[in-house]
Amino acid sequence: MGCVLSAVLGLALCPALASAWETLLDSPGYANAVALDAAGDVIAAGTTLPGHPYDFTVAKLRGADGTVLWRYATSGTQNTLDEASAVAVDPRGDAVAAGYTTNAGLGQSFTVIKVAGTDGTERWRYVLDGLPGLDFEEQAFSVTVDPSGDVLAAGVISVPEGENASLVVKLAGETGSELWRYRGGCLQLAVDPTGDVFVGGLALARLSGATGAELWRQSIAGAYTCQVALDRAGNLLAPFSSPSGSSGVVKLAGSDGHRLWLAATQPLAGPFAVDPAGNFVVLRAGGGANLLKLSGTDGRSLWARSVKRPGDTYARVFALAIDAASDIVVAGDRARGPKADPAFTVMKLRARDGALRWRHDFDGSYFSGGSDGAKAVAIDAGGDVIAAGHLDDIETGRQFVVVKLSGVTGNDSSLGRRFGANDTGFVPPDTATLACESTVARRLAAFAVAILACHQHAADAALRGTVFDVAACEAAARRKYDRRMARHTRCPACLDKKAIADSALLQLDQSANAAFYCAGTEPFGGSLLGFVPPDPATAACEDAVAAAIGQLVRELVLCHATAARQAFKGLGFEDGACEADASRDYYDATGNLKSCPPCLLRRDLLGFATVTALNQQNGNFYCASPSGAFLDPPLDF
């Protein structure tokens, strides 16, 4: 997202990290897949724009802090669109990524690339094109490594009898040379401890790891199975659907393919996972993001649960993972209200009944028209959660992002009761503290609005050539704030009401005023930075932006106060949705302003900087905690 200048507080701020760590690669793109090596370091794959129009990209990040250890980006010979769809790690820590590259004379080609885990150096590349010259969408969708270190990839290639066909290939781990090829399969495959391969498609099949020959084949009454998984006993589970509309999940014995059970369900879509007990969690089709858990013993339904929360316009699940305790982690996106853009969302659900344990939302800086999302998720040996996807940035566009969250709490620390999704500070520990902290926050917002009004009057008077005593106006606003604060004597020691107001006034006079009143050549003079508007049209724009920022501050502070009150009561509140609504009110007020000077063309950045600043400064108001410690941002319940 990059750092931005806060128009209200005058601070150079990078958006607060609400996680153990958050890493964005320094070029546009997005992540599609994530895996972990034996040391707990993270391998993420997708596409970025470092030099060509989107390169096939693999990056390694240190598991402890998210530092980028290396990044590998490459393209096909045509230097157009190239993308990694899946990634796996071999026994020695090398990364194997699968997807497509675009090559001269071939078009989009099924591609698997292996890079060294130590430094990202390319070890080998396998490129397959079924019908050279025909630009069908040939691509590898999944990749895995067998116990001996050989590589298996599944995807589609073009064939003479139709546009494309499913394919599984086995490649030598050391050289990338093709060992065998199987016509069939689908998006996903599974490998057992012996190295045999299980695939779906028009039928489920077990293939010899040595030769690719079918050891058994089992069709499901004309149904199609595109995803497969193995339980700990080596039995095969797969969701299926048929042209007639029937759908469900089937379990077959891994040894010979005989049916153990078949459970009919509503239509299924998207990801699934098998828990340590062999139970099956799958996403049902439809807009409710409904998860279904089936017993691994007999296929009976254990529970169904929507991850769409009250107030969400929609929620989607793109990836699932299950931890050692059988809790389910889902990654996707959700729109938190009718005017909200999708957020990058990670949730953890309780194994027993699917109840929400925690949820964490991330928003890019593009508040109006952006679309953030988590596309992949993994769980490390300590139970912490790694998710990858993209955030939309207001300046650079879509950004490749990887985050790490505590598996227990969804944040980076268990000290104290954290505040809201991107907000610093603590939930007040008692009613007296709640009353003081919330009142100080609201009164300071009113003070800021009054100071901004003084500046608007000063700008308009200077443009007209009349006198306006801005110092007297500000002094009156400060006296009103001080009188109201004098009534509050039961405030925590960490809350310095005078220092907060002093700092706010300084920044409003200097950085903020210079950001709003940025056109012209005649300085305001005195304590105010910035310039007198050069004409009435410019003044109208600058005044409107200043007023809109003041209203945005009021609304954000109200969001935080409501979040504090609800959390104190043990109740939920969608703080992120509240802030998104406030941001949209600002964009509605400023988006269509006329005759704005060039220095105010990026009014959206002022809004984003204000939201970021208020979230980071929230801990100055909501500062009291049982531990007495000050923590960075947190979990949104």
**Tens of pLDDT, residues 393-433:** 777 788 899 999 988 877 643 333 444 445 677 888 888 88
Residue whose C-alpha is closest to residue 60's, from 13, 23, 15, 28: 23
350/410 Cα distance (integer angstroms) = 13
Residue whose C-alpha is closest to residue 144's, from 175, 101, 177, 187: 187
What is the share, in percent, of the chain residues with pLDDT greater than 70? 89
Span 492-511, average pLDDT: 88
Q: Band of the pLDDT at 291, cuts 50, 70, 90?
A: very high
Answer yes or no: is pLDDT of 198 > 60. yes
How much is the pLDDT for 629? Answer: 30
Q: Give me the residue label for tokens 């279904």.
A: 292
Question: 442 and 375, same structural domain?
Answer: no
Q: What strand order describes the sheet that includes 204-207? A: 189-191, 197-199, 204-207, 214-218
Answer yes or no: is pLDDT of 13 > 90. no
516/459 Cα distance (integer angstroms) = 11
Question: 512 and 397, same structural domain?
Answer: no
249-258, 367-376, 596-605: which has the minimum mean pLDDT? 367-376
Answer yes or no: is pLDDT of 635 > 50. no
| Residue 21, number of CB atoms within 10 A of its CB | 19
Alpha-carbon torsion 441, 443, 446, 450, what sign? negative
Span 597-606, average pLDDT: 86
User: Using one digit for the tens of pLDDT, what is the confidence trace for 381-399?
Assistant: 889 999 999 998 777 788 8
Answer yes or no: is pLDDT of 477 > 70. yes
3-state secondary structure string across 177-236: CEEEEEECCCCCEEECCCCCEEECECCEEEECCCCCCEEEEECCCCCEECCCEECCCCCE
Span 478-502, average pLDDT: 88
Residue 328 lies inside a defined structural domain of this protein: yes
Q: 307: domain range? A: 265-273+301-405
Question: 372 and 442, same structural domain?
Answer: no
Helix (H, G, I), strand (E, B) or coil at 530: strand
Residue 381 lies inside a defined structural domain of this protein: yes
What is the share, in percent, of the chain residues with pLDDT greater than 90? 53
Question: 545 and 616, same structural domain?
Answer: yes
Span 334-338, average pLDDT: 77
Residue 91 lies inside a defined structural domain of this protein: no
Answer yes or no: is pLDDT of 11 > 50. no
Question: 441 and 312, same structural domain?
Answer: no
Answer yes or no: is pLDDT of 203 > 60. yes
Span 312-325, average pLDDT: 90
Answer yes or no: is pLDDT of 581 > 90. no
How much is the pLDDT for 633? Answer: 34
Predicted TM-score (pTM) of this structure: 0.71
How much is the pLDDT for 481? Answer: 93
Question: 561 and 486, same structural domain?
Answer: yes
How is residue 278 written in tokens? 């062999």
Q: Give me the residue label for tokens 């953030």.
A: 372
Residue 564 lies inside a defined structural domain of this protein: yes
Q: Band of the pLDDT at 104, cuts 50, 70, 90?
A: confident
Answer yes or no: is pLDDT of 10 > 60. no
Answer yes or no: is pLDDT of 284 > 60. yes
> Could you tell me where the beta strands, DSSP code E, fall in 323-437?
328-335, 342-349, 356-362, 373-379, 385-393, 397-405
Total number of domains constituting the chain: 2
205/15 Cα distance (integer angstroms) = 49
User: Using one digit for the tens of pLDDT, what is the confidence trace for 124-162?
Assistant: 999 998 776 665 678 999 999 999 999 999 999 888 776
Question: 524 and 398, same structural domain?
Answer: no
How much is the pLDDT for 625? Answer: 62
How much is the pLDDT for 367? Answer: 59
Question: 439 and 374, same structural domain?
Answer: no
Answer yes or no: is pLDDT of 542 > 80. yes
Average pLDDT across the chain, whole number = 86
Residue scoring higher pLDDT (309 or 461): 461
Residue 449 lies inside a defined structural domain of this protein: yes
